[in-house]
Amino acid sequence: MEKIKSTTVVAIKHEGQVAIGADGQATMGNTIAKSSVNKIRKLQGGKIVTGFAGSTADAFTLLEKFEEKLGAYSNNMKRAAVELAKEWRTDRMLSKLEAMMIVADAEDILIISGTGDVIEPDMGIATIGSGSMYAQSAARALKKFAANLTAEEMVKESLTIAADICIYTNHNVIIEKVNK
């Protein structure tokens, strides 16, 4: 059985605001399995927001592990991300998971991968998933040439542009703002 995957997730920090959004498409092989999947989760009362791309079951496993790490490290997002990445890379079962995560709080945006990477992206823009390069290009242009937009508006427009180009990304967008 083929795994369900493919999506675009974007997080942007702009003018003191942080927003993260994703499209709703889940793809199984070359078929759309569902068009309204929620790939964004709020943690800690919305003070931390996550988005995931890749195999859905794997992403939920990682989300649970990330929540455990947050609890173990007093809700310190950076420390929890590093500890998750270390465990993800070295644990026999976790190392087989095929997903990526973006985690964001009011101060930082991080990309966490199964290779042990915890990346704090340039320009306050993080993207993952099949349409990530389209969304990143759009977000960079919006930050440079449409700085009057809010972080939430930039996320929406970036995802819209990605959905117009990427066949694995749709226009059913969910966006959450990080609470301070």
Give dist(CA 118, CA 131) in Å, integer. Answer: 20
Q: Which residues are annotated as a binding site?
A: 163, 166, 169
Given this model, what pLDDT does residue 4 score? 52
Which residues does the annotation place in the binding site for Na(+)?
163, 166, 169
Instruction: Give tens-digit pLDDT for 35-45.
Output: 999 999 999 99
pLDDT tens across 8-53, in order?
999 999 999 999 999 999 888 888 989 999 999 999 999 999 999 9
**Coarse DSSP helix, strand, coil percentages of the chain, rounded to the nearest 5 percent:** 40, 30, 30
Q: pLDDT of 78-115, one tens digit each?
A: 999 999 998 888 888 777 878 899 999 999 999 998 78
- pLDDT mean across residues, the chain: 92
Among the listed residues 7, 11, 19, 39, the one whose alpha carbon sits nearest the alpha carbon of residue 121: 11
What pLDDT score does 88 carry? 86
Would you kindly state where each structural domain of the chain is located, as residue ranges?
A: 4-174
E strand map for 6-142: 8-14, 17-22, 26-28, 31-34, 40-43, 48-54, 99-104, 109-112, 118-119, 125-129
Name the residues annotated as catalytic. 7
> What CATH code is assigned to 4-174?
3.60.20.10
Residues 80, 85, 88, 90: what is their CA dihedral angle, to the nearest 10 degrees? -120
User: Which amino acid is residue 18, in one-letter code?
Assistant: V
Separation in Å, CA 120 to CA 11, 108, 124: 11, 7, 8
Q: Is 115 exposed, middle or buried (0-12, 13-18, 19+ CB in 10 A)?
A: exposed
Contact between residue 32 and residue 180 where contact means Cβ atoms under 8 Å apart: no
pTM: 0.93
